[in-house]
Amino acid sequence: MILKRYQLAIAVKEKEYSLRLAEYVRSSPFGDRWQISVFTHPNACKQFLNQGYNIDLLAAEPDLLAELQPDLSQIPSIALVSKLGESGEKFELLQYQSLPQLLRGMSGHFDVMSQMGKQSSKGSRNKVTILTVHSASGGVGKTTFALHLANAASNLGHRTFYLNLERFNTANLWLNHDGSEYESGVGLSDLLYGIKTRAQLSDQWLLQHRKYHSLLKCDYLPSFTNLEDRLSLSAEDAVAIVNTISESGHYDVIVLDMEDGLDELHVSLLERADHNFWIVNGEQSVLRKQQLAEKYGEQKWGEQFQSLIRKSELVCNRVDEVSKHKSNGLKFAPYSLPDVQEWRTGEPHILLSSSHYRAAVGKLLKHVLSEGDHAYGIR
């Protein structure tokens, strides 16, 4: 999927800053989406428009923006501020922050503005597709699959968020560039606190605190800094976390990496999702736990469980070991995951290092999205 290039106009007084920003955009991945023009005087920006050029997004210092808005009132705009809240504009970004973060903020705001425009004309927001990765037992490759799934969605041009809600989350072993297990900063504990205290989470909260993984090409939040937050997480709060991300307007796809097992929290999240991937491998204990989980789910939740089973598939990890097995209730996905021998060392493997594995995940994603074009709102 080839993204359309949009015209970004930057209006700031400092020439050196504007040139540095323009050079960064043109030499970075943001240049695939944005064609940038910089102005240090409002009249130059107005003349640019009068000459017949288009501007899709305007980012300007507050005083320059105030001077430009009477003539450019129909153009989506962002105020570049030194302190959030100082301009009075709906959309603001801190001007002096890392350039990658600044450009991601601009892209995020622009996506929200575009969605608002679509809602005004159509009366509804495009649906966000939520995909869960789940299993009845641990150690079957859920997180590896979920991270590859997020990357596959991003490669198809979808704005993607990876959300890990495992109790003992080791995803940061792969997400952190330095390989450390934990990551500091605002994360899921802060988001949960805002939800539980009914604090007003601003439209910019995710824009300010989400992190971007340059290899996976998707956003995420660091895991719970207070483990007790996750251990005591209720089904209602877990769904609220998913809904907060989904309703932000920033994403098309959410990949939810879930804890193994089956309780009220699992069922609520599986029910909230559009499609569920259950991962199994060839071990007899794993296959037996899968059968027992399905049986328990039917006994405990009845038709509610059957409804989520209908939008779920079993994904076979290491296909040669499980291709002959059958499930009691869940159907098998049409594609399986290959056995990658170099990943069996017990050490965290290099993300996206197997082309065969990436291809299999890509096929699974396209299979789900093609079956759910109308239901999921993905085009």
The pLDDT of residue 377 is: 43
User: Of 122, 143, 174, which residue sits at a domain end?
Assistant: 122
pLDDT at site 118: 53
Residue 205 lies in a domain: yes
Residue 204 lies in a domain: yes
Q: What is the pLDDT of residue 374?
A: 38
Instruction: Note whether 85 and 61 are same-domain residues.
Output: yes
Work out the average pLDDT over 334-356. Answer: 82
183 pLDDT above the threshold of 70: no
The reported pLDDT for the residue numbered 116 is: 63
Residue ranges making up the domain that contains 101: 6-122
CATH of the domain at 10: 3.40.50.10850
325: in domain: yes
Q: Of 122, 139, 166, which residue is a domain's last?
A: 122
Is 375's pLDDT higher than 90? no
Instruction: Indicate the residue among 90, 122, 154 that finishes a domain.
Output: 122
Q: Indicate if the pLDDT at residue 2 is higher than 70.
A: no
CA–CA dist 115, 98 (Å, integer): 26
Residue 1, domain member (yes or no): no
161 membership: H or E segment, kind and range: strand 160-164
Give the chain's mean pLDDT.
84
Can you give the pTM of this predicted structure? 0.73
Are 102 and 134 found together in one domain? no
CATH number of the domain at 311, please. Answer: 3.40.50.300
Q: Alpha helices of 182-283 — where are they, by DSSP H?
A: 188-196, 205-209, 227-231, 235-246, 264-272
15 and 161 fall within a common domain: no
Same domain, 63 and 167: no
Is 98 in the same domain as 142?
Answer: no
Give whichever of 39-48, 112-121, 196-205 has the largest mean pLDDT. 39-48
Q: What is the mean pLDDT of residues 246-255?
A: 90
* Residues near 23 by beta carbon (within 8 Å), at least 6 away in sequence: none
Rounded (5°) CA angle 267-273-278: 65
pLDDT at 4: 64
- Domain identity same for 156 and 246: yes
What pLDDT, on a 0 to 100 scale, did the predictor assign at position 26?
A: 86
Q: Quote the number of domains for the chain.
A: 2
Check whether residue 222 and residue 331 sit in a common domain. Answer: yes
State whether 118 and 181 are in the same domain: no
Same domain assignment for residues 141 and 116: no
Cβ proximity of 143 and 220 under 8 Å:
no
Bridge partners, residue 132, by sequence: 256, 276
Q: Are residues 98 and 146 in the same domain?
A: no
Confidence tier at 199 by pLDDT (50, 70, 90): low
- Asked if 217 and 321 sit in the same domain, the reply is yes
Task: Verify that 139 and 106 share a domain, yes or no.
Answer: no
Q: What is the mean pLDDT of residues 161-177?
A: 81
Please report the pLDDT score of residue 347 as a whole number. 66
Find the mean pLDDT for residues 10-25.
91
Mean pLDDT in residue range 224-244: 92
For residue 213, being part of any structural domain is answered with yes
pLDDT at 91: 87
Task: Determine, yes or no, domain membership for 44.
Answer: yes
pLDDT of residue 69: 82
Buried/exposed 246-270: b ≥16 CB within 10 Å, e otherwise: bebbbbbbbbbbbbbebeebbbbbb
